[in-house]
A = this chain, B = another copy of it.
């Protein structure tokens, strides 16, 4: 019997989950839920029902795990707790400052519904959080550095698109190699925001727009760009589409410390992703398996990636894993 998966939200992430389910032979997609009206306006790739999210509770006994693919700003704060009342859920909530508050709201709802909800799954938060935790536990006197990129930051691209005169834009976050090398060499540098990453923006401007005004608005935008060295390059809409349509990303978590009388120890985890949303989707699916198993065992409530026994993610038996991987 396969694990029955529902997808709630059909943007890049929802499409990724749909695409990656077939890689997991113990799972099947049951339905896609959307807020669009009419639901018929949403065309999906799979041959499963598209259902309005208002009817989601009616699918309670037909779906084992609901994967919440909405955004952290507007969708999840409401959907997370609401849907956790009815389903085991997995989400990629990434609004760091509100994570504890979100966790508690989902935890209450999941306990009411006797469901498991694993929150903030993906790669950061997600696998990178997990690595930071393992690394810090193993070498407790060490220091952890996280670098992101080279990759497209959708939040920063979106921020540029809101500027008047900008037709479209793609922003790459680029780690500074020399800073990473300093870390790996054990120099324990104190790195400012500017010393860790640069930002590279490809912008399509409206025909008569003032390009120098746009460039300044980008470079001075608080929080997003003002603390970074930012490069702005104006290109045509065709060029943007041809060369900057994919969503690569990745990064490095580096932990460096010493044992004994100063023996340097370096632990590093890195991702090089040609599709950020598809990778995130793959991570969500492996945790859907864990949520299903925890729920089958009678557990309930909200969990994070730090709570989940690793073997629950794998389709293989523990004896098989011991023989093949240990």
Contact = CB atoms under 8 A, between A and B. Distances in A.
Interface of A: 16, 19-20, 23-24, 96, 99-100, 103, 120, 125, 127, 129-130, 132-134, 136-141, 184, 246, 259-260, 263-275, 278-279, 281-283, 286, 289, 304-311, 313-315, 318-319, 321-323, 325-326
B282 A273 contact: no
Nearest to A314: B137
Contact of A307 (B125, B246, B306, B309): B309
Contacts of A281: 259
Contacts of A265: 271-275, 278-279, 282
Contacts of A136: 314, 325
8 contacts: A19-B259, A23-B139, A246-B263, A259-B275, A265-B272, A265-B282, A266-B271, A304-B311
Contacts of A270: 266-270
Nearest to A139: B282
Given A23-B139, A246-B263, A306-B311, 5 more contacts: A140-B286, A263-B278, A269-B270, A304-B311, A310-B310
Contact of A20 (B99, B259, B269, B322): B259
A130 B310 CA distance: 8
* 5 A-B pairs with least C-beta separation: A259-B278, A263-B275, A137-B313, A263-B274, A306-B311
From A99, A127, A279, A315, residue with most partner B Cβ within 10 Å = A279
A307 B318 contact: yes
A56 to B, nearest CB: 26
Nearest to A252: B268
Contact of A129 (B16, B137, B325): B325
A127 B134 CA distance: 9
B96 A326 contact: yes
Contacts of A282: 138-139, 259, 265
Contacts of A130: 134, 310
Nearest to A313: B137
A325 B132 contact: yes
A235 B120 CA distance: 55
B278 A271 contact: no
